Amino acid sequence: MQKFIYLFIVIVCGLILQILLKQYLSIFEFCPEILLLTVIYYGFKYGCLFGEIYGFFAGLFLDIFSVAPFGSNSLCFTIIGYIFGHLHKKLDETNIFVQIILVLIGSYIYLLLMFFIFSLLSIHKFISISNIVIVPFYNIIVSLIVFRILEEIKLTKI
């Protein structure tokens, strides 16, 4: 039960942080995707099952506060959680270089999946240079802090 409460708090804090960063520290109106970073971390750290279920709920929460089609973020995060869960124990999770590459790949997978969903639903959103360059770069910078925080408060400690 404590673990569920902890994960719920992580999702709520991630979402609030994401909103605050967009308001106060956005670069060209783009903010880091904190919830995506938590999905990548938990998928990579605890495996497919945990990653996909956490991704599902984190995405659902983001969908509630966004005007994106309900379920779209959840779908993307579920898939990302599953994909990164496959890398569990296969790579050195403490290596910063590995973390950077994972965040970069995760950001692009999210970008492509969202673009694919928007295309399917005939929502005219295009991938801009800012989407390709600024967001993944910003994600990488913020992930170094977010991963550190999540590492400090390990689930196993709770």
Please select the residue that binds other proteins; options are 130, 144, 145, 153, rule is CB under 8 A.
130
Write out the two tokens for 60. Answer: 């659902």
- 96 vs 127, beta carbon nearer other proteins: 127
Question: Taking the complex as a whole, how short is the minimal distance between the CB of residue 147 and other proteins, in angstroms?
Answer: 20
Please select the residue that binds other proteins; options are 70, 132, 149, 153, rule is CB under 8 A.
70
Q: Is 8 in the site for other proteins (CB under 8 A)?
A: no
Question: What is the widest separation between alpha-carbon atoms in the chain?
Answer: 45
**What does residue 66 show for φ and ψ, rounded to 5 degrees?**
-115, 160
Q: Give the separation between CA 135 and CA 58, rounded to whole angstroms.
A: 19
Stretch that binds other proteins, among 3-11, 79-87, 97-105, 149-157 (CB under 8 A): 79-87
Residues composing the chain:
158
Q: Give the separation between CA 61 and CA 141, rounded to whole angstroms.
A: 24
Binding mask 12-51 for other proteins (x = CB under 8 A): x--xx-xxx-xxx-x-xxxx-x-------------xxx--
Q: Which of 115, 130, 42 is nearest to 76 (CA)?
A: 115
**What does residue 27 show for φ and ψ, rounded to 5 degrees?**
-105, 120
Q: Give the separation between CA 140 and CA 33, rounded to whole angstroms.
A: 10
Q: Is 123 in the site for other proteins (CB under 8 A)?
A: yes
Binding mask 82-111 for other proteins (x = CB under 8 A): x--x--------------------------
Q: Which of 36, 44, 32, 37 is nearest to 91 (CA)?
A: 44
Binding residues vs other proteins (CB under 8 A): 12, 15-16, 18-20, 22-24, 26, 28-31, 33, 47-49, 52-53, 56, 59-75, 78-79, 82, 85, 114, 117-118, 121, 123-126, 128, 130-131, 135
